[in-house]
């Protein structure tokens, strides 16, 4: 069998593993196996590529693999689960800049051939890789900065910001067209890449922290699209397929996130959404004299007579790293014969599936995690709902105030339960910057404090009861 046939067979096997792996990632019970299959597919693809006759230096490849492996191992060991959204953003960015450099190297090698005949499939793919890869790199690192706190989480707006984005976008398109017409001018490619980097910054900087889940899934899609374009540059089938899978799945996930936040895909593409409204102080008139504060001991008494409990995790739980303490509470309540489930909002946290990842790390059984659509109709039969660090995803204003920044966003209907206990540090607003009427509802009690410490106090009170 010829080498090219063996390579294509290996690429076909890798592609099948990618497809099956993504399919299994759709469910928590099979996600670990799906991740393994995807990694195995990538290993096969990499090894097959190393046998390609166009490889020029195995020494530099070995150095790159060694450095990348060390970095990957350190990240896997050191990264906190609460920082996983930041890591995803960084990895998206690295995927984008890799596409830029690979396409640039391919252009440099092809310039002599373009003196005689231009391969327009190749040159268009090179230009596309520069634009999408550049946007992905800079946009992802802006997202990382917002998530990590290096850059303000608020939407950065300025007069004429939309016009600036349009002008920079048109400049990138114009340079791209010129690059296709004059492919032998290598400098145009790098100028285009630089303009695309600025475009990524201008697209993501106006987006507020509340909308980071949408942004991350969209940038993930961009990184796949850039990789697929690079696959056309290199005429590499497995890269085309893998990039297309990532791009398509990212777009689908983005649409799911948009629906969950009542956003349109146009809002995401052009930015400027997620702006934080005027913040309300903790002692604002909205809550004045209406909040019913509680203690861990009083919550323990409620739980002592409850038959069903729903726990709603939010970003506050993630910040407090309270997932293991929440698991301890779950186990204690379950041991007492109480039915305990977890209500998961699609955009709770900082990235799609953030809460699922944290609870899986704490070994919460998968069948105890209920998605919003599944659990919303059951809240009226629940004795106690414990909201741990979630705010906007439980805010009734989404349904009652058409002028609210979160108007129309599907929420968890926790207010329908018999009793709601909200664990929160203060009455400060969530990412949307609006008050939450749930906090002053007749059936709501506020347990002020850190998500982890408050849960520990509840556990201690339950054990003494």
Residue 115 in this model has a pLDDT that exceeds 50: yes
Per-residue pLDDT averaged across 276-283, rounded?
Answer: 44
pLDDT confidence bin for 276, thresholds 50/70/90? very low
Quote the CATH superfamily of domain 296-464.
Answer: TPP-binding domain (3.40.50.1220)
pLDDT, position 215: 84
The alpha carbon dihedral of 439, 445, 447, 452 has a sign of negative
pLDDT confidence bin for 161, thresholds 50/70/90? confident
Higher-scoring residue by pLDDT: 51, 295: 295
- To the query of whether residue 211 is one of the catalytic residues in this protein, the response is no
For the chain, the C-alpha Rg in angstroms (whole number) is 25
Per-residue pLDDT averaged across 5-20, rounded?
Answer: 90
Q: Which residues contact 241 (CB under 8 A, 6 or more apart)?
A: 11, 15, 18, 231
pLDDT, position 353: 78
Tokens 């995927």 belong to residue: 95
DSSP states of 35-55: HHHHHHHHHHHHHHHHT-TT-
Tokens 């659990």 belong to residue: 375
Can you give the residue ranges of every domain in the chain? 79-270, 296-464
Residue 275 in this model has a pLDDT that exceeds 80: no
Write out the H or E segment, with its range, that includes residue 445.
Answer: strand 444-448
How far are the Cα atoms of 203, 338, 347, 389 from residue 410, in angstroms, in the given order?
26, 28, 10, 18
pLDDT in tens, 335-387: 999 999 999 998 887 777 788 888 888 889 988 999 998 999 999 999 999 99
The active-site residue out of 211, 392, 413, 450 is 392
The CA-to-CA distance between both ends of the chain, in Å, stands at 74
Bin 411: left if φ > 0, else alpha if -120 < ψ < 50, else beta: beta
Give the per-residue SS3 of 311-356. Answer: EEECHHHHHCCCHHHHHHHHHHHHHCCCEEEEEECCCCCCCCCHHH
pLDDT confidence bin for 270, thresholds 50/70/90? low
Tokens 């048109």 belong to residue: 170
The alpha carbon dihedral of 306, 424, 311, 358 has a sign of negative
Name the DSSP letter for residue 434. Answer: -
Residue 112 in this model has a pLDDT that exceeds 50: yes
pTM of the entire structure?
A: 0.77
DSSP E strand boundaries for 325-443: 339-344, 369-371, 384-388, 419-424
Residue 384: what are its φ and ψ, rounded to 5°? Answer: -135, 130
Is 446 strand, coil or helix?
Answer: strand
pLDDT confidence bin for 216, thresholds 50/70/90? confident
Residue 36 in this model has a pLDDT that exceeds 90: yes
Say if CB 263 and CB 273 are below 8 A apart: yes
C-alpha closest to that of 214 among 252, 160, 158, 171: 252
């Amino acid at each position: 069998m010829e080498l090219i046939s063996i390579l294509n067979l290996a690429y076909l096997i890798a592609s099948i593993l990618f497809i099956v792996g993504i399919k299994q990632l759709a469910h928590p019970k099979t996600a670990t196996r799906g991740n393994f299959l995807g990694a195995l597919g990538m290993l096969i693809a990499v090894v097959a590529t190393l046998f390609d006759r166009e490889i020029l230096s195995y020494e530099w490849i070995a150095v790159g693999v060694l450095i990348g492996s060390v970095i990957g191992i350190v990240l896997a060991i050191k990264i906190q689960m609460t920082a996983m959204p930041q890591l995803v953003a960084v990895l998206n960015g690295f995927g984008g800049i890799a596409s830029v450099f690979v396409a640039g190297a391919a252009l440099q090698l092809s310039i002599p051939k373009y003196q005689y005949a231009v391969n327009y499939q190749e040159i268009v793919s090179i230009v596309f890789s520069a634009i999408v890869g550049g946007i992905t790199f800079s946009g992802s690192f802006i997202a990382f900065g917002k998530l990590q706190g290096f850059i303000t989480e608020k939407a950065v707006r300025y007069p004429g910001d939309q016009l600036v984005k349009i002008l920079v976008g048109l400049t990138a398109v114009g340079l791209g067209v010129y690059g296709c017409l004059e492919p032998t001018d290598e400098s145009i490619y790098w100028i285009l890449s630089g303009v695309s980097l600025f475009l990524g910054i201008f697209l993501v900087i106006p987006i507020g922290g509340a909308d980071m889940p949408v942004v991350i899934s969209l940038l993930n899609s961009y990184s796949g699209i850039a990789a697929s374009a690079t696959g056309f540059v290199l005429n590499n089938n497995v890269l085309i397929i893998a990039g297309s899978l990532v791009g398509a799945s990212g777009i689908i996930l983005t649409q799911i996130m948009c629906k969950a936040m009542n956003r349109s895909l146009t809002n995401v593409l052009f930015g400027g959404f997620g702006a934080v409204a005027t913040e309300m102080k903790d002692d604002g008139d909205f809550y004045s004299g209406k909040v019913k504060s509680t203690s861990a001991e009083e919550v323990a008494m409620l739980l002592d007579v409850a038959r069903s409990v729903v726990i709603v995790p939010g970003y506050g739980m993630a910040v407090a790293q309270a997932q293991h303490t929440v698991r301890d509470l779950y186990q204690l309540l379950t041991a007492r014969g109480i039915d305990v489930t977890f209500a998961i909002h699609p955009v709770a946290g900082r990235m799609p599936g953030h809460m699922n990842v944290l609870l899986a790390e704490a070994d919460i059984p998968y069948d105890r995690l209920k998605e919003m659509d599944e659990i919303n109709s059951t809240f009226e039969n629940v004795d106690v709902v414990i909201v741990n660090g979630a705010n906007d995803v439980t805010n009734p204003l989404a349904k009652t105030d058409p002028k609210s920044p979160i108007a129309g966003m599907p929420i968890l209907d926790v207010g329908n339960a018999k009793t709601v206990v909200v664990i929160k540090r203060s009455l400060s607003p969530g990412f949307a910057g609006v008050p939450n009427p749930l906090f002053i509802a007749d059936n709501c009690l506020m347990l002020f404090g850190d998500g982890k410490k408050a849960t520990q106090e509840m556990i201690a009170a339950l054990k003494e009861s």
